[in-house]
Chain A
Amino acid sequence: MDSGSTPLTARLCNGADCQPFSAIVTRADTIIFEMADYAASIRAVQRGDSLVGAYSNVGNRGPRTIPFRAARGRWPAEPAGPALLGIWNAWFGAEDRQTPRILEFLDGPEGLLGTVLSNSGDYGTFWGGADGTRFSLGHFDGSFVYMITGEVVDGAIEGIFHAGLRSQTPFRATRSQGEPHLKPPTEVTTADTTAPFRFAFPDLQGRIVTNDDPRFRGKVVMVDIFGTWCPNCQDAAPTLLELYHAYHGQGFEVVSLAYEVTGDPEIDGQLVRRFKEKYGIPWPILLAGMNDTDLTAATLPQLEGFTAYPTLVFLDRTGRVRRIHAGFYGPATGIQHTKLKADLHTYVEELLSLK
């Protein structure tokens, strides 16, 4: 919060990763921080040198609130010991219903940082501290409130993954020895490769754009299935731009299929236009539908097992699917992000080299 400026400005930070609020309103002694993308808000009242109040949003069963207290200052930058830092293979959930995750912990200038990776991407930057072998890190992006707590015991982590106040999922993690733990992102979703990959959706001017459009003919095409509401898609945009600028001159095209919140072309169109301008995206973005994985799969019947936003579908020069990459490891994942970027560059080069 910048309390020295008029009007008041504030950002929501997870470590050094900060996002602005959509609006800040002051009513009497209450400050309301709006997060319009998530239909959520934080109402806070100053009490001494703290802010107290509640975060609230509206779900299917009515409004939900989570009380909070905010203290002035920063978390102490508590470095974690070598017993915790590094990469861990985790299993979340009860014994007979476990799902894999990868946890990574590192010390940053702001304190202990962490990431949680699943088969379809990461949960963003976690930030917190450690006390000996015990640790606690949180992530709050305006919509999801996550906290991961645990302790290193005999070389393994026993912990709990908290989602909001309600959900606590126990997990156990052991140190990664470099073996694969998650399903490879290229094996989550598959496609019919016997025919060209078909799509036909309106662009932002309402013109129907299809896979037969002359701009895609004979080109290597990356179809980016995304939504402006999706944090991993926001993370992916700069990497996709890098790819486009590096290879467009060699016959590489990109088309983004936007699956948005309302399904109303006017409202969704505004969000997509803002996204296009924010990142300076030069390729067409088409309004494909609403952000429901089942509905997305229904509009793209050649895909099997669609589960993640974003999903990148790579087409060769004949228009057939050569590879599908589900999810995206954002900058918070460090080496995974760097590795993914290098892998995407290599793969586009490989496709371009095919005649």
Chain B
Amino acid sequence: MVRTATLALLLAAGTLPTGVAAQQGSALAAERSAYAEWLSSATTSPLAAVAMQRIGKGVTLGPDTTDIPLQGFGPATVSEQKGAVTLTGPDGRNRFLPRGRAVTIAPYTFQVLGQSGTSVLVVYGTAGGAPPGWYAPDPAVRFTVALEAPASRERRRVLTLDGIDVEAELAGHLTVPLGASGTRLQVMRMPIPGTEETELQIYFRDATNDHGTYPAGRFVEVTRTASGQYLVDFNRTRNPFCAYSSVYPCPVPWSGNRIPDAVEAGEKYLPHEPGS
């Protein structure tokens, strides 16, 4: 006899049903494990990035005299016309580089990111390198708080986690119970390039910067809960991609987003060896 049941999906954004909360620890461990594997093995891992450049009027690749010298490759040019990005190889053959998609032309992988007209080319070599590791999970740095609306509309050009220049909107402020009397942090609503979606992010600094975490600061995502509150889980704090490779531009710290305490949670930082 066939018995059927329908999977009723409940999105879990902070206010998890009883029983699911117990899964948080293992969910975080699974996320970290998947991310570490991606960092060390994916063809588009930031640890494998060898160059990142705005395409503008065109980028040349290959010999040492080109914009992006690539040993054993080219000469080639990458150009953008009406949003379509094309790589023209030494044989004159054109190859389209679809936005957001990895295209491997051995020994390199190419990826076009950003919006049409301001596209950025990222070149990846061989994946590798050790993920930086994380602090042990700490349930005490997971907060569900209110988001205070901004007094007026404010837009600002900022860099995303992966170094893409976007126009973000101030979503408001939230206060987390860190520091002597709590710390008020700016939350920006940032467009996700190539999609119609946005995400809420906080780029912050704290006392661990340069003492275990990346000196310029770290990102933590904010998600809205079913009750209309907002979840900030510092265990999920992430490094900007410039922490993995100097080819990425590093976001300028957001003014005022400084937590006086040491937030010993989330992703750590392993400084690059000189020349690496």
Residues on A facing B (Cβ under 8 Å): 1-5, 10, 12-13, 43, 47-48, 50-52, 54-56, 58, 60-63, 65-75, 94, 96, 138, 140, 145, 147, 162-169, 263, 289-295, 297-298
The docked-state distance in angstroms from the alpha carbon of A43 to that of B7 is 13
List 6 other contacts, CB 8 Å, given A73-B6, A138-B11, A167-B198: A51-B7, A67-B23, A69-B10, A69-B12, A70-B8, A94-B169
Determine the distance from Cα of A236 to Cα of B276 in the docked complex, in whole angstroms: 52
Q: Which of B57-65, B79-87, B180-188, B205-213 contacts A (4 or more CB under 8 A)?
A: B79-87
In the complex, chain A residues whose CB is within 8 Å of the CB of B1:
4
Most buried by B among A71, A75, A147: A71
User: In whole Å, how far is A43's beta carbon from the nearest beta carbon of chain B?
Assistant: 8
Known: A61-B162, A294-B84, A298-B82. A165 touches B11 (CB 8 A): yes
Q: List chain A residues, Cβ under 8 A from B113.
A: 60
With A65-B27, A140-B9, A294-B82 given, is the CB distance from A166 to B38 under 8 Å?
no
Known contacts being A63-B35, A166-B221, is A292 close to B6, with CB within 8 Å? no
Q: Which 4 A-B pairs have the closest CB atoms?
A: A294-B83, A298-B84, A292-B98, A167-B197
State the Cβ distance, B81 to closest chain A Cβ, in Å. 7
Q: Name the B residues within 8 Å of A61 (CB-CB).
A: 161-162, 241
Name the segment of B14-22, B67-75, B137-145, B251-259 touching the other chain.
B14-22
In the complex, the answer to whether B19 meets A47 with C-beta atoms within 8 Å is yes
**Neighbouring B residues of A1 by C-beta, 8 Å:** 4-5, 7
B11 to chain A: which residues have CB within 8 Å?
A: 66, 68, 138, 145, 147, 162, 165
Known A73-B6, A297-B82, A298-B84; judge A56-B34 contact (CB<8 A).
yes
Query: Which residues of B from 65 to 112 have beta carbons under 8 Å from A?
Result: 81-86, 96, 98-101, 103, 111
Q: Which of A54, A140, A145 has most B Cβ within 10 Å? A: A54
Contact A297 B83, CB 8 Å, known A67-B23, A167-B199: yes
Q: How far is the CA of A62 from the CA of B113 in the complex (A)?
A: 14
B38 adjacent to A58 (CB under 8 Å): yes
Given contacts A1-B5, A165-B13, A297-B83, contact A263 B98 (CB under 8 A): yes
CA distance A12 to B8 in the complex (A): 10
B31-47 toward A: CB 8 Å interface, digit per residue (1/0)? 10011001100101000
Q: State which of A3, A63, A71, A292 has its C-beta within 8 Å of the C-beta of B99.
A: A292
Contact B84 A297 (CB under 8 A): yes
Of chain B, the residue at the smallest CB distance from A149 is B226
**A168-B83 in contact given A58-B38, A68-B9 (Cβ < 8 Å):** no
For the complex formed, measure the closest distance between the CB of B82 and the CB atoms of chain A, giving whole angstroms: 6
CB-defined A-B contacts under 8 Å, sample of 29:
A2-B2, A3-B3, A4-B3, A12-B7, A13-B6, A13-B7, A47-B19, A52-B20, A56-B34, A58-B42, A62-B35, A62-B38, A65-B31, A65-B34, A67-B20, A70-B8, A94-B153, A96-B153, A145-B11, A162-B11, A163-B196, A164-B197, A169-B198, A290-B101, A292-B98, A292-B101, A293-B83, A294-B83, A297-B83
Nearest B residue (CB) for A296? B84
Partner of A292, one of B35, B96, B221: B96
Interchain CB contact under 8 A, A298 and B81: yes
- Which residues of the partner chain A approach B81 to less than 8 Å between Cβ atoms? 298
| B96 in contact with A67 (CB, 8 Å) | no
Q: Does B52 contact A (CB under 8 A)?
A: no
Residues in B whose Cβ lies below 8 Å from that of A68: 9-12
CB-nearest residue of chain A to B96? A295
B223 at the interface (CB under 8 A from A): yes
Provide the residues of chain B in CB contact with A138, threshold 8 Å: 9, 11
Task: Decide if B174 is an interface residue (CB 8 Å cutoff).
Answer: no
Report the separation of the CA atoms of residues A56 and B33 in the bound assembly, to the nearest whole angstrom: 13
Q: Does B30 contact A (CB under 8 A)?
A: yes
- Say how far B46's CB is from chain A's closest CB, in angstroms: 9
CA distance A166 to B231 in the complex (A): 11
Q: CB of B224 within 8 A of chain A? A: yes
The interface residues of chain A lying within 8 Å CB-to-CB of B126 are none
CB atoms of B8 and A73 under 8 A apart: yes
- How far does the alpha carbon of A140 sit from the alpha carbon of B8 in the complex, in Å? 10
Cβ–Cβ < 8 Å partners of B38 in chain A? 58, 62-63
Q: Is A50 touching B23 in the complex (CB atoms < 8 A)? A: no
Residues from chain A with Cβ under 8 Å of B7 in the complex: 1, 10, 12-13, 51, 70
Chain B residue at minimum C-beta to C-beta distance from A49 = B5
- CA–CA, A61 and B83, complex, Å: 22
Residue on B with the closest CB to A13?
A: B6
Chain B residues, Cβ within 8 Å of A162? 11, 224
* Docked CA distance A60–B197 (Å): 14
Please, which residues of chain B bring their CB within 8 A of the CB of A164?
197
Q: A167-B197, A292-B96, A292-B98 are in contact. Are A69 and B17 (CB under 8 A)?
A: yes
Question: How far apart are the CA atoms of A72 and B5 in the complex, in Å?
Answer: 6
B7's nearest neighbour on chain A, judged by CB, is A70
Q: What is the CA–CA distance of A69 and B101 in the complex, to the nearest angstrom? A: 31
Assembled-state Cα–Cα distance A177/B198 (Å): 31
Closest chain-B Cβ to A72's Cβ sits at a distance in Å of 5
In angstroms, how far is the closest chain B Cβ from the Cβ of A345? 32
Nearest-neighbor residue (CB-CB) of A44 within chain B: B7
Evaluate contact between B31 and A63: CB separation under 8 angstroms: yes
Query: Is A67 a contact partner of B3 (Cβ separation < 8 A)?
Result: no
User: Is A50 a contact partner of B19 (Cβ separation < 8 A)?
Assistant: yes
